[in-house]
Structure 1
Amino acid sequence: MTYTGDVRVGGPSDVRVLDELEIRKAAVGPMQNNVYLLTCRVVGAQLLVDAADDPDRLLALLREGTTQLDLVVTTHRHADHSRALASVVAVTGARVAAGADDADAVAESTDIAVTQRLHDGDTVRVGNVTLTVVGLRGHTPGSVALAYREPGGRVHLFTGDSLFPGGVGKTSGPEAFEQLYRDVVERVFDRFGDDTWVYPGHGPDTTLGAERGQLPQWRARGW
Protein backbone atom coordinates (compact mmCIF):
# COMPACT_ATOMS: atom_id res chain seq x y z
CA MET A 1 0.00 0.00 0.00
CA THR A 2 1.09 3.58 -0.66
CA TYR A 3 2.14 5.65 2.36
CA THR A 4 -0.16 8.62 3.00
CA GLY A 5 0.65 9.61 6.59
CA ASP A 6 -3.07 9.57 7.40
CA VAL A 7 -3.29 8.01 10.88
CA ARG A 8 -5.82 8.20 13.70
CA VAL A 9 -5.66 7.45 17.42
CA GLY A 10 -6.69 3.84 17.88
CA GLY A 11 -6.03 3.05 14.24
CA PRO A 12 -3.20 1.25 12.48
CA SER A 13 0.18 2.75 11.76
CA ASP A 14 1.20 3.78 8.27
CA VAL A 15 4.45 2.38 6.89
CA ARG A 16 6.91 3.83 4.40
CA VAL A 17 9.75 1.63 3.12
CA LEU A 18 12.83 3.45 1.86
CA ASP A 19 16.18 2.13 0.69
CA GLU A 20 17.81 1.76 4.12
CA LEU A 21 15.01 2.82 6.43
CA GLU A 22 11.43 1.96 7.32
CA ILE A 23 9.25 4.72 8.76
CA ARG A 24 6.18 3.88 10.81
CA LYS A 25 3.76 6.63 11.82
CA ALA A 26 1.09 6.28 14.50
CA ALA A 27 -1.13 8.68 16.46
CA VAL A 28 -1.54 8.51 20.24
CA GLY A 29 -3.13 10.36 23.14
CA PRO A 30 -5.83 13.01 23.57
CA MET A 31 -3.83 15.58 21.60
CA GLN A 32 -3.43 13.15 18.70
CA ASN A 33 0.34 13.25 18.74
CA ASN A 34 2.22 11.68 15.88
CA VAL A 35 5.00 9.27 16.77
CA TYR A 36 7.50 7.86 14.31
CA LEU A 37 9.43 4.63 14.53
CA LEU A 38 12.52 4.53 12.32
CA THR A 39 13.95 1.08 11.62
CA CYS A 40 17.29 0.42 9.96
CA ARG A 41 16.58 -2.23 7.36
CA VAL A 42 20.14 -3.58 7.49
CA VAL A 43 20.71 -4.28 11.18
CA GLY A 44 17.25 -3.77 12.74
CA ALA A 45 18.18 -0.91 15.07
CA GLN A 46 15.27 1.39 15.92
CA LEU A 47 14.77 5.04 16.88
CA LEU A 48 11.50 6.49 18.19
CA VAL A 49 10.67 10.14 17.57
CA ASP A 50 8.67 11.28 20.64
CA ALA A 51 7.38 8.79 23.20
CA ALA A 52 4.30 10.96 23.37
CA ASP A 53 1.61 8.89 25.10
CA ASP A 54 0.01 5.45 25.43
CA PRO A 55 3.03 3.24 26.21
CA ASP A 56 1.14 0.06 25.31
CA ARG A 57 0.53 1.39 21.80
CA LEU A 58 4.17 2.44 21.48
CA LEU A 59 5.43 -0.97 22.58
CA ALA A 60 3.10 -2.58 20.04
CA LEU A 61 4.54 -0.23 17.43
CA LEU A 62 8.04 -1.42 18.30
CA ARG A 63 6.94 -4.99 17.71
CA GLU A 64 5.85 -4.03 14.20
CA GLY A 65 9.53 -3.41 13.56
CA THR A 66 12.20 -5.47 15.32
CA THR A 67 11.06 -5.10 19.00
CA GLN A 68 14.35 -3.51 20.10
CA LEU A 69 14.60 0.21 20.76
CA ASP A 70 17.98 1.92 20.78
CA LEU A 71 17.14 5.61 21.08
CA VAL A 72 14.21 7.93 21.78
CA VAL A 73 14.56 11.46 20.41
CA THR A 74 12.26 13.94 22.17
CA THR A 75 11.72 16.83 19.79
CA HIS A 76 10.96 19.37 22.53
CA ARG A 77 10.09 19.85 26.18
CA HIS A 78 6.28 19.97 26.07
CA ALA A 79 4.72 17.20 28.13
CA ASP A 80 2.43 15.87 25.42
CA HIS A 81 5.54 14.69 23.56
CA SER A 82 7.05 12.72 26.45
CA ARG A 83 4.24 11.33 28.62
CA ALA A 84 5.19 7.73 27.79
CA LEU A 85 8.95 8.27 27.91
CA ALA A 86 9.52 6.81 31.38
CA SER A 87 7.47 3.70 30.65
CA VAL A 88 9.08 3.07 27.27
CA VAL A 89 12.60 3.50 28.65
CA ALA A 90 11.82 1.24 31.62
CA VAL A 91 10.78 -1.59 29.30
CA THR A 92 13.35 -1.15 26.53
CA GLY A 93 16.39 0.42 28.18
CA ALA A 94 16.62 2.87 25.28
CA ARG A 95 18.84 5.93 25.45
CA VAL A 96 17.21 9.36 25.35
CA ALA A 97 18.19 12.41 23.31
CA ALA A 98 16.76 15.94 23.30
CA GLY A 99 17.78 19.41 22.26
CA ALA A 100 20.41 20.81 24.62
CA ASP A 101 18.27 23.75 25.74
CA ASP A 102 15.27 21.51 26.46
CA ALA A 103 17.13 18.54 27.95
CA ASP A 104 16.92 19.60 31.60
CA ALA A 105 13.19 20.30 31.33
CA VAL A 106 12.59 16.90 29.70
CA ALA A 107 14.58 15.15 32.41
CA GLU A 108 12.79 16.99 35.21
CA SER A 109 9.30 16.33 33.85
CA THR A 110 9.89 12.63 33.11
CA ASP A 111 12.46 11.69 35.75
CA ILE A 112 14.50 10.15 32.93
CA ALA A 113 18.09 11.11 32.20
CA VAL A 114 18.78 12.66 28.80
CA THR A 115 21.92 10.87 27.66
CA GLN A 116 22.51 12.88 24.47
CA ARG A 117 22.10 16.65 24.25
CA LEU A 118 21.54 17.69 20.67
CA HIS A 119 22.73 20.80 18.84
CA ASP A 120 22.08 22.04 15.33
CA GLY A 121 24.31 20.10 12.95
CA ASP A 122 24.81 17.08 15.22
CA THR A 123 24.08 13.61 13.93
CA VAL A 124 22.29 10.64 15.44
CA ARG A 125 22.51 7.09 14.18
CA VAL A 126 20.03 4.25 13.97
CA GLY A 127 22.01 1.24 12.88
CA ASN A 128 23.63 2.10 9.54
CA VAL A 129 21.46 5.17 9.03
CA THR A 130 22.56 8.70 9.94
CA LEU A 131 20.16 11.56 10.63
CA THR A 132 21.13 15.21 10.96
CA VAL A 133 19.85 17.38 13.80
CA VAL A 134 18.23 20.66 12.75
CA GLY A 135 17.77 23.14 15.57
CA LEU A 136 14.49 25.05 15.19
CA ARG A 137 14.35 27.46 18.10
CA GLY A 138 11.17 29.31 18.98
CA HIS A 139 8.37 26.87 19.78
CA THR A 140 10.67 26.02 22.67
CA PRO A 141 14.34 27.04 23.08
CA GLY A 142 15.64 23.54 22.38
CA SER A 143 13.23 22.24 19.72
CA VAL A 144 14.92 19.98 17.19
CA ALA A 145 14.05 18.30 13.91
CA LEU A 146 15.70 15.26 12.35
CA ALA A 147 16.61 15.07 8.66
CA TYR A 148 17.28 11.86 6.75
CA ARG A 149 18.47 12.01 3.15
CA GLU A 150 18.00 8.97 0.99
CA PRO A 151 21.19 8.18 -0.93
CA GLY A 152 21.03 10.54 -3.88
CA GLY A 153 17.40 11.37 -3.19
CA ARG A 154 14.64 12.91 -1.12
CA VAL A 155 15.01 14.33 2.37
CA HIS A 156 12.65 13.19 5.12
CA LEU A 157 12.24 15.75 7.91
CA PHE A 158 10.70 15.05 11.33
CA THR A 159 9.77 18.48 12.65
CA GLY A 160 8.02 18.02 16.00
CA ASP A 161 5.89 21.11 16.64
CA SER A 162 8.10 23.53 14.71
CA LEU A 163 6.64 23.13 11.21
CA PHE A 164 3.19 22.03 10.08
CA PRO A 165 1.08 22.24 6.94
CA GLY A 166 0.12 25.92 6.83
CA GLY A 167 2.65 27.40 9.21
CA VAL A 168 5.25 27.20 11.92
CA GLY A 169 4.45 26.01 15.42
CA LYS A 170 2.88 28.12 18.15
CA THR A 171 5.20 30.61 19.83
CA SER A 172 4.93 32.68 23.00
CA GLY A 173 5.31 36.09 21.34
CA PRO A 174 6.82 38.13 18.50
CA GLU A 175 10.45 37.51 19.45
CA ALA A 176 9.99 33.74 19.60
CA PHE A 177 8.10 33.80 16.30
CA GLU A 178 10.90 35.75 14.64
CA GLN A 179 13.41 33.18 15.87
CA LEU A 180 11.38 30.21 14.69
CA TYR A 181 10.51 31.75 11.34
CA ARG A 182 14.16 32.61 10.71
CA ASP A 183 15.35 29.12 11.64
CA VAL A 184 12.68 27.45 9.50
CA VAL A 185 13.58 29.60 6.49
CA GLU A 186 17.37 29.43 6.85
CA ARG A 187 17.78 25.90 8.15
CA VAL A 188 14.94 24.17 6.27
CA PHE A 189 13.55 26.00 3.22
CA ASP A 190 16.90 27.47 2.13
CA ARG A 191 18.63 24.12 2.59
CA PHE A 192 16.29 21.41 1.35
CA GLY A 193 14.39 20.90 -1.90
CA ASP A 194 10.69 21.08 -2.61
CA ASP A 195 10.32 17.28 -2.58
CA THR A 196 11.39 17.16 1.10
CA TRP A 197 8.73 15.26 3.02
CA VAL A 198 7.70 16.82 6.35
CA TYR A 199 6.50 14.61 9.21
CA PRO A 200 5.03 16.91 11.91
CA GLY A 201 4.21 16.29 15.55
CA HIS A 202 0.45 16.44 14.95
CA GLY A 203 -1.77 16.01 11.93
CA PRO A 204 -1.06 15.26 8.28
CA ASP A 205 2.27 15.31 6.50
CA THR A 206 3.27 17.85 3.88
CA THR A 207 6.19 18.75 1.60
CA LEU A 208 8.33 21.86 1.48
CA GLY A 209 7.10 22.49 -2.03
CA ALA A 210 3.50 22.62 -0.81
CA GLU A 211 4.43 25.17 1.87
CA ARG A 212 7.15 27.33 0.29
CA GLY A 213 4.80 29.74 -1.45
CA GLN A 214 3.12 30.55 1.88
CA LEU A 215 6.26 31.84 3.60
CA PRO A 216 5.51 35.54 2.95
CA GLN A 217 2.01 35.04 4.36
CA TRP A 218 3.37 33.41 7.50
CA ARG A 219 5.83 36.25 7.97
CA ALA A 220 3.17 38.92 7.50
CA ARG A 221 0.66 37.40 9.92
CA GLY A 222 3.29 36.67 12.61
CA TRP A 223 2.28 33.08 13.34
Structure 2
Amino acid sequence: MTAPQGVRVDHAVSSGTFSLDGQTFEVDNNIWVVGDDRECVVIDAPHSVEDILAVVGDRAVRAILLTHAHDDHCRVAPALREAVNGGSGAPILLHPDDRPLWELTHVHDGEGHLWDVDLADGFEIGVGGTTLRAIHTPGHAPGAVCFHAPELGCVFTGDTLFQGGPGATGRSYSDEDQIKDSIRTRLFTLPDDTVVHTGHGDDTTIGAEKANL
Protein backbone atom coordinates (compact mmCIF):
# COMPACT_ATOMS: atom_id res chain seq x y z
CA MET A 1 0.00 0.00 0.00
CA THR A 2 1.49 3.33 -1.07
CA ALA A 3 1.24 6.40 1.13
CA PRO A 4 -0.34 9.50 -0.45
CA GLN A 5 2.23 12.03 -1.60
CA GLY A 6 3.08 14.62 1.03
CA VAL A 7 1.56 12.93 4.07
CA ARG A 8 3.95 12.34 6.95
CA VAL A 9 4.28 11.54 10.64
CA ASP A 10 5.92 14.21 12.79
CA HIS A 11 7.17 13.55 16.30
CA ALA A 12 8.34 15.34 19.42
CA VAL A 13 8.72 14.54 23.12
CA SER A 14 7.14 16.49 25.97
CA SER A 15 8.03 16.08 29.66
CA GLY A 16 5.82 16.36 32.73
CA THR A 17 4.04 14.18 35.27
CA PHE A 18 1.59 11.28 35.44
CA SER A 19 -0.66 11.00 38.50
CA LEU A 20 -3.04 8.20 39.49
CA ASP A 21 -3.99 6.38 42.67
CA GLY A 22 -2.29 8.99 44.85
CA GLN A 23 1.11 8.68 43.20
CA THR A 24 2.90 11.03 40.80
CA PHE A 25 5.76 10.20 38.44
CA GLU A 26 7.95 12.16 36.04
CA VAL A 27 7.33 10.98 32.47
CA ASP A 28 8.31 11.76 28.89
CA ASN A 29 5.45 11.48 26.39
CA ASN A 30 5.60 11.15 22.63
CA ILE A 31 3.66 13.69 20.57
CA TRP A 32 2.51 12.38 17.19
CA VAL A 33 1.14 14.58 14.42
CA VAL A 34 -0.09 13.05 11.14
CA GLY A 35 -0.85 15.06 8.03
CA ASP A 36 0.56 17.04 5.12
CA ASP A 37 1.63 20.67 4.75
CA ARG A 38 -1.97 21.92 4.97
CA GLU A 39 -3.72 19.89 7.64
CA CYS A 40 -3.05 17.40 10.42
CA VAL A 41 -4.41 15.50 13.38
CA VAL A 42 -2.74 15.45 16.79
CA ILE A 43 -2.53 12.15 18.65
CA ASP A 44 -2.62 12.73 22.41
CA ALA A 45 -2.18 16.03 24.23
CA PRO A 46 0.26 15.55 27.11
CA HIS A 47 2.06 18.25 29.07
CA SER A 48 2.55 21.37 26.96
CA VAL A 49 0.42 23.14 24.37
CA GLU A 50 3.55 24.94 23.17
CA ASP A 51 5.37 21.65 22.55
CA ILE A 52 2.47 20.40 20.44
CA LEU A 53 2.04 23.63 18.50
CA ALA A 54 5.74 23.54 17.62
CA VAL A 55 5.07 20.30 15.74
CA VAL A 56 1.77 21.45 14.22
CA GLY A 57 3.18 24.71 12.88
CA ASP A 58 0.71 26.75 10.82
CA ARG A 59 -1.34 23.75 9.70
CA ALA A 60 -5.07 23.34 10.24
CA VAL A 61 -5.78 20.79 12.97
CA ARG A 62 -8.68 18.54 12.01
CA ALA A 63 -8.92 16.75 15.36
CA ILE A 64 -7.21 15.91 18.64
CA LEU A 65 -7.27 12.10 18.91
CA LEU A 66 -6.81 10.66 22.40
CA THR A 67 -5.54 7.12 22.85
CA HIS A 68 -6.85 7.18 26.44
CA ALA A 69 -7.57 9.62 29.27
CA HIS A 70 -4.69 9.23 31.71
CA ASP A 71 -3.69 12.76 32.64
CA ASP A 72 -0.33 12.61 30.86
CA HIS A 73 -2.16 11.98 27.58
CA CYS A 74 -5.10 14.40 27.88
CA ARG A 75 -4.04 17.10 30.32
CA VAL A 76 -3.76 19.97 27.82
CA ALA A 77 -6.39 18.75 25.35
CA PRO A 78 -8.97 21.45 26.25
CA ALA A 79 -6.35 24.21 26.07
CA LEU A 80 -5.02 22.84 22.78
CA ARG A 81 -8.56 22.72 21.40
CA GLU A 82 -8.86 26.46 21.97
CA ALA A 83 -5.37 27.31 20.70
CA VAL A 84 -5.45 25.76 17.22
CA ASN A 85 -6.96 26.97 13.97
CA GLY A 86 -6.66 30.63 14.86
CA GLY A 87 -8.72 30.15 17.96
CA SER A 88 -11.64 28.51 16.17
CA GLY A 89 -10.73 25.19 17.77
CA ALA A 90 -10.66 21.51 16.85
CA PRO A 91 -12.70 18.62 18.28
CA ILE A 92 -11.35 16.29 20.96
CA LEU A 93 -12.11 12.62 20.25
CA LEU A 94 -12.11 10.04 23.07
CA HIS A 95 -13.69 6.65 23.67
CA PRO A 96 -16.57 7.11 26.15
CA ASP A 97 -15.44 4.18 28.32
CA ASP A 98 -12.62 6.43 29.54
CA ARG A 99 -14.96 8.98 31.08
CA PRO A 100 -13.98 8.03 34.69
CA LEU A 101 -10.32 8.73 33.91
CA TRP A 102 -11.09 11.92 32.00
CA GLU A 103 -13.04 13.23 34.98
CA LEU A 104 -10.04 12.74 37.28
CA THR A 105 -8.33 15.48 35.25
CA HIS A 106 -11.13 17.53 33.68
CA VAL A 107 -14.57 18.44 34.95
CA HIS A 108 -17.33 19.08 32.46
CA ASP A 109 -18.49 22.63 31.88
CA GLY A 110 -21.86 24.02 32.96
CA GLU A 111 -23.56 22.52 29.91
CA GLY A 112 -22.20 19.05 30.58
CA HIS A 113 -19.61 19.08 27.80
CA LEU A 114 -16.63 16.78 28.13
CA TRP A 115 -14.74 15.94 24.96
CA ASP A 116 -16.45 16.60 21.62
CA VAL A 117 -16.78 13.30 19.73
CA ASP A 118 -17.10 9.75 21.05
CA LEU A 119 -14.67 7.34 19.45
CA ALA A 120 -15.92 3.87 18.57
CA ASP A 121 -14.16 0.81 17.25
CA GLY A 122 -13.75 1.24 13.50
CA PHE A 123 -14.13 5.03 13.54
CA GLU A 124 -12.22 6.55 10.62
CA ILE A 125 -10.85 10.03 10.06
CA GLY A 126 -9.16 11.28 6.92
CA VAL A 127 -6.27 13.73 6.89
CA GLY A 128 -3.79 14.72 4.20
CA GLY A 129 -5.19 12.13 1.82
CA THR A 130 -4.75 9.20 4.21
CA THR A 131 -7.05 7.55 6.75
CA LEU A 132 -6.63 6.61 10.41
CA ARG A 133 -8.88 3.91 11.86
CA ALA A 134 -9.62 3.54 15.56
CA ILE A 135 -9.11 0.11 17.15
CA HIS A 136 -10.61 -0.27 20.62
CA THR A 137 -7.98 -2.02 22.76
CA PRO A 138 -9.14 -1.96 26.40
CA GLY A 139 -6.85 -3.08 29.18
CA HIS A 140 -4.45 -0.27 30.04
CA ALA A 141 -7.60 1.83 30.27
CA PRO A 142 -11.20 0.84 29.54
CA GLY A 143 -11.44 3.23 26.60
CA ALA A 144 -7.93 2.73 25.24
CA VAL A 145 -7.80 3.13 21.47
CA CYS A 146 -5.06 2.61 18.89
CA PHE A 147 -5.01 4.42 15.56
CA HIS A 148 -4.02 2.39 12.50
CA ALA A 149 -2.79 4.18 9.39
CA PRO A 150 -2.52 1.33 6.86
CA GLU A 151 -1.28 3.52 4.00
CA LEU A 152 1.55 4.74 6.23
CA GLY A 153 2.34 1.25 7.52
CA CYS A 154 2.04 2.24 11.17
CA VAL A 155 -0.16 2.13 14.23
CA PHE A 156 -0.24 4.58 17.15
CA THR A 157 -0.69 2.50 20.28
CA GLY A 158 -0.64 4.99 23.15
CA ASP A 159 0.13 2.93 26.25
CA THR A 160 -1.37 -0.34 24.99
CA LEU A 161 1.77 -1.74 23.34
CA PHE A 162 5.39 -0.70 23.83
CA GLN A 163 8.78 -1.87 22.70
CA GLY A 164 9.10 -4.89 24.98
CA GLY A 165 5.46 -5.72 25.58
CA PRO A 166 2.09 -4.55 26.90
CA GLY A 167 1.46 -1.36 28.79
CA ALA A 168 1.11 -1.27 32.56
CA THR A 169 -2.01 -2.67 34.23
CA GLY A 170 -1.28 -2.31 37.93
CA ARG A 171 -3.50 0.72 38.56
CA SER A 172 -7.17 1.64 38.71
CA TYR A 173 -9.32 0.97 35.65
CA SER A 174 -6.76 -1.45 34.13
CA ASP A 175 -6.81 -5.20 33.48
CA GLU A 176 -3.84 -7.39 32.56
CA ASP A 177 -5.79 -10.20 30.92
CA GLN A 178 -7.82 -7.70 28.91
CA ILE A 179 -4.81 -5.81 27.54
CA LYS A 180 -3.14 -9.05 26.46
CA ASP A 181 -6.34 -10.16 24.73
CA SER A 182 -6.64 -6.77 23.00
CA ILE A 183 -3.09 -6.99 21.71
CA ARG A 184 -3.42 -10.59 20.53
CA THR A 185 -6.83 -10.24 18.87
CA ARG A 186 -6.70 -6.67 17.57
CA LEU A 187 -3.09 -5.55 17.08
CA PHE A 188 -1.40 -8.83 16.18
CA THR A 189 -3.75 -9.16 13.22
CA LEU A 190 -1.91 -6.22 11.59
CA PRO A 191 1.01 -6.96 9.23
CA ASP A 192 4.23 -7.89 11.03
CA ASP A 193 6.12 -4.98 9.46
CA THR A 194 3.64 -2.41 10.82
CA VAL A 195 5.62 0.23 12.73
CA VAL A 196 4.35 0.78 16.27
CA HIS A 197 4.50 4.41 17.39
CA THR A 198 4.12 4.29 21.16
CA GLY A 199 2.99 6.77 23.81
CA HIS A 200 6.37 6.64 25.54
CA GLY A 201 9.77 5.50 24.33
CA ASP A 202 11.00 4.05 21.07
CA ASP A 203 9.20 2.61 18.07
CA THR A 204 8.90 -1.11 17.50
CA THR A 205 7.03 -3.36 15.06
CA ILE A 206 4.10 -5.71 15.38
CA GLY A 207 6.28 -8.66 14.40
CA ALA A 208 8.93 -7.87 17.01
CA GLU A 209 6.35 -7.63 19.79
CA LYS A 210 4.75 -11.00 19.05
CA ALA A 211 7.80 -12.56 20.69
CA ASN A 212 7.44 -10.34 23.79
CA LEU A 213 3.89 -11.19 24.82
TM range (shorter): 0.7 to 0.9
Structure 1 counterpart of 2:110: none
**Kindly tell me: are residues 165 and 97 of structure 1, through their superposed partners in 2, closer, same or farther at Cα, counting changes over 3 Å?**
same
Q: CA deviation at 1:45?
A: 1.9
Task: Give the 3-state SS of the residue equivalent to 1:88 in structure 2.
Answer: helix
List per-residue Cα deviations over 1:27-81 (Å, max 9, x = no partner).
002311001011145xx22100011111111111111xx4321200111110011
- Does structure 1 retain, via aligned residues, the 8 Å contact 2:39–2:59? no
**Kindly tell me: are residues 94 and 101 of structure 1, through their superposed partners in 2, closer, same or farther at Cα, counting changes over 3 Å?**
same
Structure 2 counterpart of 1:71: 63
1:24 aligns with 2:17: no
Q: CA deviation at 1:20?
A: 5.1
Could you list the structure 1 runs, at least 4 aligned residues long, displaced by more than 6 angstroms after superposition. Answer: none
Q: CA deviation at 1:23?
A: 0.5
CA distance in 2 between partners of 1:168 and 1:19 (Å):
33
Q: CA deviation at 1:127?
A: 4.4
1:60 aligns with 2:61: no
1:101 aligns with 2:97: yes
1:202-221 equivalent positions in 2, closer than 5 A: 202-215=200-213
**Kindly tell me: are residues 18 and 169 of structure 1, through their superposed partners in 2, closer, same or farther at Cα, counting changes over 3 Å?**
farther
Structure 2 runs not aligned, ≥5 long: 17-26, 108-112
CA distance in 1 between partners of 2:155 and 2:177 (Å):
21
CA distance in 2 between partners of 1:79 and 1:18 (Å):
33
1:134-145 equivalent positions in 2, closer than 5 A: 134-145=135-146
List per-residue Cα deviations over 1:153-187 (Å, max 9, x = no partner).
x63100000000111011137x8111110110010
Q: CA deviation at 1:109?
A: 2.4
Structure 1 runs not aligned, ≥5 long: 1-16, 216-223
Greater relative contact order structure (CA < 8 Å, 6+ sep): 2
Scaled by the length of structure 2, the TM-score of the pair is 0.81
Q: Report sequence identity in percent.
A: 30
Aligned-pair Cα RMSD in Å:
2.1
Scaled by the length of structure 1, the TM-score of the pair is 0.78
1:120 aligns with 2:121: yes
Task: Give the 3-state SS of the residue equivalent to 2:156 in structure 1.
Answer: strand
**Kindly tell me: are residues 177 and 105 of structure 1, through their superposed partners in 2, closer, same or farther at Cα, counting changes over 3 Å?**
closer
- Does structure 1 retain, via aligned residues, the 8 Å contact 2:29–2:72? yes
Structure 1 counterpart of 2:21: none
CA distance in 1 between partners of 2:142 and 2:104 (Å):
16
- Does structure 1 retain, via aligned residues, the 8 Å contact 2:65–2:92? yes
Task: Give the 3-state SS of the residue equivalent to 1:101 in structure 2.
Answer: helix
List per-residue Cα deviations over 1:112-154 (Å, max 9, x = no partner).
731211122221222432111111101010000000011xxx6
